[in-house]
Amino acid sequence: MDIERSSFDLTAVRQAYAQGTGVRALITEARRRAAADRLNAYIHVLSEAELEPYVARLERLASDSLPLYGLPFAIKDNIDLAGVPTTAACPQFAYTPGSHAHVVEKLIAAGAVPIGKTNLDQFATGLNGTRSPYGPGRNPFNPDYISGGSSSGSAIAVATGSVGFALGTDTAGSGRVPAAFNKLIGLKPTCGLLSARGVVPACRSLDTVSIFALTAEDAADVYAAALGFDAADAYARRAEPHGPDFAAGGAFRVGVPRADQLEFFGDEAARQCFAAALELFASLGATLQEVDFAPFLETARTLYGGPWVAERHAAIGEFFDQSEAAVIAPVREIVAGARRFSATDAMRAMYALKAARRRCDSAWENLDCMLAPTAGSIYTIAELEADPIRLNSALGYYTNFMNLLDYCAVALPAGTARAGLPWGVTIFAPAHRDLPLLRLAARAQQALGGTMGATAHRLPAARPLRSAVASGCVLVAVCGAHMEGLPLNVQLRERAARLVARTRSAPEYRFYALPGGPPERPGMVRVDSGGACVELEIWEMPAAAFGSFVAAIPAPLAIGKVKLADGAEVPGFVCESWIASYASDITHFGGWRAYQAARG
């Protein structure tokens, strides 16, 4: 394989190693590409001597022995890499850590190789990538335009193909806006699932390490390797089952902002891109439902009121109070602004957030995820420097609320907007639904096709996502009053179950209308002969709710294994055989809906 022309997506890297490429040759090429950067992506590219321990270790191992073997990656320079200065884009603040950040350590253990530390908006304060003494992050599609921030360099490094993935951080959109402007996947995980130990915080209570990758599948592999509870991180949390996998196929429900609440800041091409994205998701099986976006926008506004601005001062307060002049504008003014807030202001902002969160929670009752633009439009570097506060705020219109509300999100490419530059959308959902979002992003990315980042490399064929956590769900086959739209369906809905398939049983059942009610109920009895197929719905339910569901089922009904027409068996409603002497045989109707329709 010609390494000089190869992509560094994980599929291509694995193929290169399988065909005999040595890890030293591949990492040398990655370093060459990084060193050739002219877009201000990197603050520090590791020297050959600095890379040697990582390469030498992998040369002693088989290429299929580690999930990320020999995959080059970059690290936002507010995340520690042992022996390399961490600057947070402020040279006077720099320190050299003696150990890796926890997430970096896990990725290196999985076989990834660090190539360099990347540029950022100073102290991760900004969404545009222009606020750095190392120069503005320039968009690889047109260097007059911004790359997005604060994780600007990380996104540029992946988009230009010098690494296979990169770490960023995300407080208010820094792991998503750069993904949109660089035609990448940007995973903003559930806060606390990736350790923040060894990360210079922006707002410690909201920050998460983020992942930029060329494909959703690659992002899932990196996420799986980085995931793990870190007891030394006070904000860490354990991964929980993600619940119903709405992205596995079939119908799913997607909320979108009300049309009058969409904002594209005059970018009509972006508006057209979003309309096309809605059509794309509908083609994947989405039922689109307009949502009142006002509570989410209200939540976003609280980000700049009191406690979270004060957190930026808390993160670097000792340095800032002694060396305020070392911090560039407008970062200096933002951090200094924390001094005007009192503890009373902080509490009021927290109360406002609680109230807004309650309003936002109500929107999720009948939704699996939401879809919105990642950013309304893109700007030139000159435009941002001339109007830094207003335009930066515009970039956060669709992103600022998500960490405040404890959502996970995936940004993905969705066409071309202003000046022929990439544009993207974000899918988001409540905490712990990271994997279903990545699976849905993979389906959408495959449907969109095209090239990856700013490279000429075509998107590789789809491959299964590596599952970092179990779904924690069970399937339940229902045949009567629990079916969609019928009286007992609420018992499934209130347990966050979702319909995944409509099918039929194997031809091995007799079907009965049971005495009693309301509501009327049917019973399926498995027989040795004379059976028929029965109409079924398959629902997916969180395992934690399954016990209470089963406990509410009255005799002679029970939950047992129901054989489906394709031979598979799933838990579902069965009935004790003695009921045949007391119930009406309705097998010839083929299902409960047909029986009820015949009765009028």
Q: Which residues are catalytic?
A: 76, 150, 174
Looking only at the bridges linking them, the beta strands covering 113-118 and 72-76 are parallel
Vertex 497: Cα angle to 491 and 498 (nearest 5)? 125
Using CA of residue 490, residue 241, residue 112, residue 135, what is the dihedral sign? positive
Interatomic CA distance for residues 393 and 352, integer angstroms = 20
What is the pairing mode between strands 369-373 and 208-213?
Answer: unpaired
Give me the helix-helix angle, 216-226 and 102-109, nearest 10°: 110
Q: Which two tokens stand for residue 52?
A: 């040697």
Please give the structure tokens belonging to residue 87.
């600057």
CA-derived radius of gyration, the chain: 27
User: How is residue 321 annotated by DSSP?
Assistant: H
- The answer to whether 173 and 40 have CB atoms below 8 angstroms apart is no
Q: What is the largest CA-CA distance in the chain?
A: 89
Question: Cβ atoms within 10 A of the Cβ of 343, count?
Answer: 10
How far apart, in whole angstroms, are the C-alpha atoms of residue 351 and residue 307? Answer: 11
- Segment holding 570, helix H or strand E: strand 569-575
- Whether 9 contacts 164, CB under 8 Å: yes
CA 229 vs. chain centroid, Å, equals: 18
Percent helix / strand / coil, the chain, rounded to 5: 35, 20, 40
Which tokens sit at 244?
């119903």
Distance CA 382, CA 388 (A): 10
Please name which of 418, 377, 417 lies closest in space to residue 396, comparing C-alpha atoms: 377
